[in-house]
Amino acid sequence: MKRYVEKEVTDQLAYRRKMLQDWRGERLTGHQINLASIDLNLLVALEALLEYRNVTHAGQHIGRSQPAMSRALGRLRGMFNDDLLVRSSTGLIPTPQGEHLAQRLPSALRTIREMVTSRSVISKEWGRGATLAIPDHQALAVLPRLLPWLRERAPHLDTLACLPFDRAVRGLEQGDIDLAVGHIDVQLPGYFRRSLYTDRFACLLRHDHPALAQEWTIDNFATLRHAAISTDSPDHFGPIYDHLPNLREDRSPILFSSVLTAAVVASGTDLVLLVPRRVATQVSAMLPLRVVDPPLEPAPYKVMLIWHERCHHDPQHKWLRKEVAAALETGAD
């Protein structure tokens, strides 16, 4: 027993000398303490010792034996170059350094525990802005439903910046964009997508358009001059007109960057504008345009929620995806 105690004291002194040398060296060089040289499990033991002030009870609390806790206390004394806890008539009492650590250590360990523990995030905990990329035409259909929903579910949401859809892939990858809402016709590696709803295409024409007085056939439709929403995106996001049949190779559509600009022009000309029906409904409520089903059946317009794999397991991002999807799936056609 005497030999065991002497060895423990020797080990404690050696550990304390090493920690003191390292500390002095770091003070002289101005470097921060190298955490890799410290057993952070000792801080868990210290937290229990400072709380219970009894080696046996502290060991029971964290599942360690009394000898193991005694050795941990010895190493802690060497780490801090202080006794930390000393014997008194009532048991162990902390030194001034121990009292200081008793005030700071619980919050530090709580922060670490929260960092490594997955927790669900409720709306009031979302503490930063959300950036969405939404194509111009889809913003008309999406935002009137999405903004009131998020205002109710996440009143502390800082901002909702709706960026142009161009370069959405790059923005999602780099974290400049949180989510994209729109159509994508390819599955890109490293990206996830969730179907929100499927829309049909519809034509917008001015109320007194001459074509409305004629039979609405594919041949007549082919003779009309079409307006289309252009997309400069190289990422396959957001095409509208891209995959429509080539009705007349000599009549390319007139391209517009904004769906509202195209609709305003169509309301005063003989242009016909083909857009998803939800968008057509919104636009026709603002302008003297009539919504007509096309005489052909283009492929359905599938609206997706898209995000990068870097955010796939993030609790806050999961919450945001869930809320955006719930807002846009509610009342979907």
Query: What is the structure's pLDDT at 246?
Result: 45
Q: Is there a common fold for 2-116 and 125-333?
A: no
Query: What is the structure's pLDDT at 208?
Result: 93
Range 259-288 average pLDDT: 93
Alpha helices in 117-176 (DSSP H): 136-153, 168-174
Decide: 199 and 303 in contact? Cβ < 8 Å: yes
Cβ neighbours, 10 Å, residue 51: 14
Residue with tokens 């609405």: 216
Range 82-91 average pLDDT: 90
Query: What is the structure's pLDDT at 257?
Result: 81
Query: What is the structure's pLDDT at 32?
Result: 64
Collapsed DSSP state (helix, strand, coil) of residue 326: helix
| Cα gap 91→133, rounded to integer Å | 63
Query: What is the structure's pLDDT at 134?
Result: 87
Q: Is the pLDDT of residue 179 over 60?
A: yes
Query: What is the structure's pLDDT at 171?
Result: 87
Query: What is the structure's pLDDT at 315?
Result: 83
Residue that wins the pLDDT comparison between 158 and 63: 63
Q: What is the pLDDT of residues 274-322, one digit of tens each?
A: 888 999 999 999 999 999 999 888 888 888 999 999 999 888 889 889 9
Query: What is the structure's pLDDT at 26?
Result: 46
Give the CATH architecture of domain 125-333. 3-Layer(aba) Sandwich (3.40)
Residue that wins the pLDDT comparison between 223 and 126: 223
Q: Parse the chain into domains and list their residue ranges.
A: 2-116, 125-333
Pull the structure tokens for residue 288.
């003297």
Residue that wins the pLDDT comparison between 151 and 57: 57
CATH 1.10.3720.10 assigned to 2-116? no
Paired strand residues for 87: 92
- The chain-wide mean pLDDT, for the chain, equals 80
Phi, psi values for residue 50, rounded to 5°: -70, -30
Query: What is the structure's pLDDT at 30?
Result: 47
Q: What is the pLDDT of residues 30-56, one digit of tens each?
A: 456 677 778 889 999 999 999 999 999
Q: What is the DSSP string of 262-321?
A: HHHHHHTSS-EEEEEHHHHHHHHTTSSEEEE--SS-PPPEEEEEEEEGGGTT-HHHHHHH
**Contacts for 95 with CB less than 8 Å, ≥ 6 apart:** 82, 83, 84, 85, 86
Q: What is the pLDDT of residues 227-251, one digit of tens each?
A: 887 765 554 444 444 444 444 444 6
Q: Is the pLDDT of residue 67 over 80?
A: yes
Highest mean pLDDT among 3-12, 86-95, 148-157: 86-95
DSSP 8-state assignment for residue 256: E
Residue with tokens 């109710």: 152
Instruction: Please give the helix or strand (H or E) that residue 231 lies within, else none.
Output: none
